[in-house]
Amino acid sequence: MTRTISARAILFDMDGTLVDSHPVVERIWAEFARRFDLDVAEILATSHGVRMVETARKYAPHGTDIDAVVADLSRIEYDDTEGVTAIAGARDLLDSLPHGSWALVTSAARPLTEKRMAGVGLPIPAVIVTSEVVTKGKPDPEPYLRAAEQLGVAASDCLVFEDAEAGIRAGVASGAQVVVVGDAPSETADRLGLPRIPDHTALRVEHADGGLHVQLP
């Protein structure tokens, strides 16, 4: 049974939602864990969708130069493109959206965001909210509220696509409607009964009455 959600704008997370970068992410946090003799499984369980600086600050030993660690890991992550691919159907979906009707809202830095999107052949929107431009990252709603403001619409008139618990919480807290991409566990998605899709291949978007009408499978 299909379901249609109407919105004035769509806000997309990047990693895990439009781009599958899990192989790189796992390698980065494995390197971080190796340096500080930490449990990488524990880090991976909480880091997805969260800004790198916040995860590093949470797990690095007291006295660690967090800025230096993040700068080094960011450089490694920027250079590592092995295994990064577009989520199925992402290109067709983005190509179907009118200019100025969607934004990218990611916990990644701007240079990495642009490289990753271009590297898998996905378009880059006019509005991008990245880790450097927010005071508080996901799960705080600030990134999504900022994107909606830049698009000139209320967050409550937006549809968010997310895959990670932190991002799902951010989208919900912003007042937007949220669709979950993939099968990662999410207490928030389960509690609220949010719609979930495996990828973007079966999505259909109609433009009518000044809005976007997204048909979910």
What pLDDT does residue 190 have?
Answer: 98
Of the chain, the percentage scoring pLDDT greater than 70 comes to 100
What pLDDT does residue 15 have?
Answer: 96
CA 15/CA 116 separation, integer angstroms: 9
Q: Mean pLDDT across the stretch 180-209? A: 96
pLDDT band at residue 1, thresholds of 50, 70 and 90? low
Q: Mean pLDDT across the stretch 72-90? A: 94
Contact yes or no for 46/55 (Cβ under 8 A): yes
pLDDT band at residue 175, thresholds of 50, 70 and 90? very high
Contact yes or no for 148/175 (Cβ under 8 A): no
Residue in 120, 81, 106 with CA at minimum distance from that of residue 14: 106
Average pLDDT, rounded, for the chain: 96
Point out the catalytic residue in the list 13, 67, 80, 140: 13
What pLDDT does residue 184 have?
Answer: 93
15 has catalytic annotation: yes
Q: What angle do CA 7, 101, 186 make, to 5 degrees?
A: 55
Of the chain, the percentage scoring pLDDT greater than 90 comes to 94
Residue in 17, 26, 19, 69 with CA at minimum distance from that of residue 44: 26
